[in-house]
Amino acid sequence: MPQERIQLNLRLDGQRDFYSAIKTAADERGISVNSFVLNAIKKDLGWEISEHTTASAIPQLDAILEAVQTRLVPVLDTMIDDKVNQRLGEALA
């Protein structure tokens, strides 16, 4: 039987520093933000907290995207510059 999925959304409007602190604490523990927040709530309620040893895949994905962007942006800039220069040369000829 599939596990029931219940979702709780928290609005942190205007609380960027609070979210950053949560994210930093989760990263330091090697767990996802979701796991960190669930454990904090469980701890406050006196419930047993879950022991998670790995972070979610999102930080890894962010690192991959950053690496791709770092390599791709200069290539695209060069390609765009070359195309603009080619079009300008054609227009001036």
Mean of the per-residue pLDDT values of the chain:
83
Predicted confidence (pLDDT) at residue 14 exceeds the cutoff of 50: yes
pLDDT tens digit string along 38-71? 999 999 999 988 765 444 455 567 777 777 888 8
Per the model's pLDDT, the better-predicted residue between 69 and 7 turns out to be 7
Q: What is the mean pLDDT of residues 1-17?
A: 87
**In sequence order, what DSSP letters do the residues of the chain get, joined into one string?**
-PPPP-------TT-HHHHHHHHHHHHHHTS-HHHHHHHHHHHHHTPPPP---S--HHHHHHHHHHHHHHHHHHHHHHHHHHHHHHHHHHHH-
